[in-house]
Amino acid sequence: MLATSPLLPDHPALPLLGGWRLVRRLSRTRYFELFLAAPATCDPDWPADYVVKSARQEADAAPVAARLLQREVQVARSIAHPHLATILDEQTRHDPPFVVQPFYEGKPWELMMSCNEGRIASACWTGRQIAEALQALHQAGWVHGDVKPSNVIVSPVGHATLIDLGSARRLDRNGQVIPESLLELTAGYAAPEWFLDQPRVTPAADVYSLGVCLYETLTGERLFPYEEPRRLLEAHREELPPHLRHKNPQVPADTARLVHRMLAKDPTARPSIGAVIETLVRTEIAFFSQTADIPA
């Protein structure tokens, strides 16, 4: 796990947590605290290149945080993939709940949206890697459920990792998400079918969310520029996005068509995740033949 904000000051008297020595607090979110950590058995000079993700203990956050951590462990135990976050250690059945992950060096994908240089090649390179991670998740019987740029870490050499698997949902034998009460979604990236009275959600929901990420990375603009969550949900259900090539004419026509198909309101009209990978690979190859700047 990578800190997505500057390092915070050292927490006074940071304790040991399980077999881990907490070195520095990295960030605090609604449900979690993230700490840079090292194995407690190692020399104090040992590099702190792990992250402990610990449930916040406030009464309103603790139960949800514990369940999200348990889900992350459940998913990580069922699948391993080079573009998916992994769990190295965990304590989720008694207090204080936490998981341990590698420190993923890099930046959130969202910080790359303002970079014009190499925008198309970079978007397709990153998007294809995340599509591969999603394909592996879907084949293992999961939907990620919260694909968004802040949940993608891109390393300095261009390796992308999809993080935060706590929102993942299990698929039933018909390929639909099993209903459950715990639901953490991000309005700006969630597929419209999540919000139906009787939702029938399939892996196509992740395809839609990845389509939003690609649209925003390729254009440098939000898909729907609304702040109020209800207005955002209405837009995802009813509003057609502006044509991508009107925003960025340099995007290849087949790539633009792919993204708009990914953003179809009807889940059955969206391409499979395999088709997404194939089209993005073709775009990568086309740009690779023109420039040597694409990461290896």
Both 276 and 135 in one domain: the answer is yes
Lowest-pLDDT range, 136-145, 155-164, 215-224, 279-288? 279-288
Both 94 and 148 in one domain: the answer is no
Both 158 and 145 in one domain: the answer is yes
Both 135 and 208 in one domain: the answer is yes
Residue 156 DSSP one-character state: T
The last residue of one of the domains, among 87, 102, 117, is 102
Both 65 and 179 in one domain: the answer is no
What total of structural domains would you count in the chain? 2
Give the integer Cα–Cα distance in Å for 291 and 120: 12
Both 249 and 119 in one domain: the answer is yes
* Residue 192 falls inside a structural domain: yes
* Residue 7 falls inside a structural domain: no
Q: How much is the pLDDT for 1?
A: 47
* Residue 2 falls inside a structural domain: no
Q: Is the peptide bond before 96 cis (omega within 30 degrees of 0)?
A: yes
Q: What is the 3-state secondary structure (H, E, C) of 124-170?
A: HHHHHHHHHHHHHHHHCCEECCCCCHHHEEECCCCCEEECCHHHCEE
Residue-wise pLDDT tens digits, 12-64:
446 789 899 999 999 998 899 999 999 998 888 888 899 999 999 887 888 88
Q: Cα 149 vs. chain centroid, distance in angstroms?
A: 6
Both 37 and 97 in one domain: the answer is yes
Both 274 and 143 in one domain: the answer is yes
Domain that holds residue 87: 16-102
Both 181 and 157 in one domain: the answer is yes
* Residue 176 falls inside a structural domain: yes
Residue-wise pLDDT tens digits, 209-261:
999 999 999 999 999 999 898 899 999 999 999 999 999 999 999 999 999 99
Both 59 and 123 in one domain: the answer is no
CATH number at residue 50: 3.30.200.20
